[in-house]
Structure 1
Amino acid sequence: MNRRDLLKAAAALPLAHTALSNPAFAQAPFPSRNITMIVPFPPGGQADLAARPTAQALERILGKPVIVDNRAGGGGGSVGNAQAARAEPDGYTLLMTLSSLAVLPEADRLFDRPVSYEVAQFAPVARVLADPTLLAVPASAPWKTLQDFVDDAKKRPGQIPYGSSGPYGTLHVAMEMFAASAGIKLLHVPFRGAGPALTALLSGTVQALASAPGTLKQQVDDGKMRVLANWGAERVASFPDLPTFREFGYKDVEFYIWAGLFAQSNLPAPIMTRLREAMAQAVRAPEVVKTFETAGSPIAYQDAPEFSKFVAEDSARLVAAVKKIGKVE
């Protein structure tokens, strides 16, 4: 190398050092492009209800488009969950999913199937909703009370069809918990998500459904269906006259269909902090609060530390329930 080349190389060294040491050069501010929020179900269910107003608020707060991507497939959201788990941990692929996140890997193990993802691959960002599921039937159904339903199911084991968002999804587990406690056998009819299952109930294809208050309220108000019981420990504000399963004597029947935002577990800390801050603003936005309250599903926000603890505790309870239920189709 001649003298001129040496001088050029030496002059470039400070600039190279600056580029490596200065974050402004090393990494563009987050976000610098569109964000995808995966919803592992079709439109119309609890996760979709949580995602759309939240995404709109995040778009305004972060200054970049936040695109809701419904990636239905597999049982109970497994395909979308797995796609989010495999995404780059850069904050540009997020997941709005339900409590079935923890159930599905356990179901895979129960049936000796390859596990498509593990809960440990995700980092909770914020909880948005946390509602007990409600037992709904068509308005034309003969059952006026929960006891009517149970009595009929005992007379006709395996003949009353109920819909779900897929095997071992939130709606399936809730119904099987109830059926096991009541000593009845129902006919499980899985769909690709809660939206199609709700449509099937309205059309009469199925005769029962466990779903969140926010996805049922308008249909009940319009006289298209009725609700018979509430899986929560307490009555819900949007259905104050609806008794809980506990009130009916089913002490071990309790289930919540929460919706929360997740990123990948190895997401850089500064990006996680930015997302947490943005979500704290988003769930307090007046238009978001109004949307959820109108749907009968008020915000149940938790920041990442509280949500992480909640997910761990709820997941342990649900995994135990799946093991108790065992192999069901």
Structure 2
Amino acid sequence: MQRRSVLQAAALASLSPLAWADGYPAKPVRLIVPFAPGGTTDIIARILSERMNGLLGQTMVVENKAGGGGTVGAMEIVRAAADGYTLGVATVSTTAANPAINPRIAYNPLTDFTPVINVAATPNVIAVHPSFPARDYKSFVAELKKNPGKHSYSTSGTGGIGHLQMELYKTLAGVFVLHIPYRGAGPALNDTVAGQVPMIFDNLPSALPFIKDGRLIPIVVASSRRVPSLPNVPTFQEVGLEPVNRMAFYGIHGPKGLPKEVVDKVNAAMKKAVEIPDVRKRIEDTGSIILANSPAEFAAQIAAEFEVYKKVVALQKLKLD
């Protein structure tokens, strides 16, 4: 009996990676969202997972692991087996902004993950509650300069892209507002829409429904050009603050050492998913731009964003509270 087990193990070990990958996935795949439900990361993950179920032949189960500005969920991916059954959504917050500002993070964004695909990029927005005494950028910055420290802003978490971009904005614009971090964009939006926090720096897709309903007022966006759904809202570049004009991204990655054949299979399935008209429309309706690039291209983007935010942290002397 023991000899048979040894022989079976040897036979499995002799299978080529390609032969093994041909059977992948043989069970449900976990997709870790490193933020609470309701934010843009969660929205895009669920749009994709619905169609990936059919394309991969197995259920893709979304799991929200919030906390630490996305680092709790990121660590869940780092600790997972490199077999393709635990993947995660990679964001600028988890792979660049948070690692740049927090030296205590227990992972290296460049070496502890396997990039698979960057699915989409999206603008960010500063939006205010309708009770805020400003409804356009000129009056907004005037109010902040008139009342330093009076107002506060919410984000998806300390060290996330919203936090670092807003802190950079504060430095360049010469204003001061207090940071109120949450465990994801969903809770941050809820409190801002309720008027408990007067403003938010958020990804546009999660904020846009509230903007359309008039429950939030958009002030300025981080985008390469004006957003069609917000034609009267200027970009940071237009108001003279080009360094703040960086978009967020939503990609897929896994733990380091993920077999190339699995990476290629998931990459190909994701590319097919975003070519499905209703999937593409739902993602683009959030204000996002489809990217669907290669693993190598995504790795280069992560490295570039990490370098940008390291420089921001150093130049602006940003530290965690």
Secondary structure of the 1:104 match is helix
Q: 1:180 to 1:165 in 2, by over 3 A?
A: same
Q: What residue number does 1:129 align with?
A: 120
Residues 1:144 and 2:135 aligned together: yes
TM-score (norm 2): 0.91
Which stretch has the larger CA shift, 15-24 or 83-92?
15-24
Encode CA deviations 1:44-94: one digit per residue, 9 max, x unaligned. Answer: 1121122001111111101111000000112x1110001111110000000
Q: 1:106 to 1:121 in 2, by over 3 A?
A: same
Q: Distance in 2 between matches of 1:58 and 1:41?
A: 20
Q: What residue number does 1:95 align with?
A: 88
Residues 1:52 and 2:43 aligned together: no
Q: 1:31 to 1:245 in 2, by over 3 A?
A: same
- Candidates 54, 58, 77, aligned match of 1:84: 77
- Candidates 225, 246, 252, aligned match of 1:255: 246
Q: 1:147 to 1:59 in 2, by over 3 A?
A: same
Q: 1:159 to 1:21 in 2, by over 3 A?
A: same
Q: Distance in 2 between matches of 1:171 and 1:89?
A: 30
Equivalent pair of 2:122/2:287 in contact (CA under 8 Å): no
Deviation at 1:17, TM superposition (A): 6.8
Q: What residue number does 1:4 align with?
A: none
Q: Distance in 1 between matches of 2:6 and 2:190?
A: 65
Secondary structure of the 1:302 match is coil
- Candidates 266, 270, 273, aligned match of 1:275: 266
Equivalent pair of 1:289/1:298 in contact (CA under 8 Å): no
Secondary structure of the 1:77 match is helix
- Candidates 107, 110, 120, aligned match of 1:117: 107
Residues 1:36 and 2:27 aligned together: no
Secondary structure of the 1:274 match is helix
Q: Distance in 2 between matches of 1:57 and 1:133?
A: 26
Identity percentage of aligned residues: 34
Deviation at 1:27, TM superposition (A): 4.4
TM-score (norm 1): 0.89
Equivalent pair of 1:283/1:289 in contact (CA under 8 Å): yes
Secondary structure of the 1:248 match is coil
Between Structure 1 and Structure 2, how many residues are aligned?
A: 314
Deviation at 1:149, TM superposition (A): 1.6
Structure 1 segment 1-329 matched on structure 2, within 5 A: 20-23=13-16, 27=20, 29-74=23-68, 76-101=69-94, 102-109=96-103, 113=104, 115-119=105-109, 120-325=111-316, 326-329=318-321
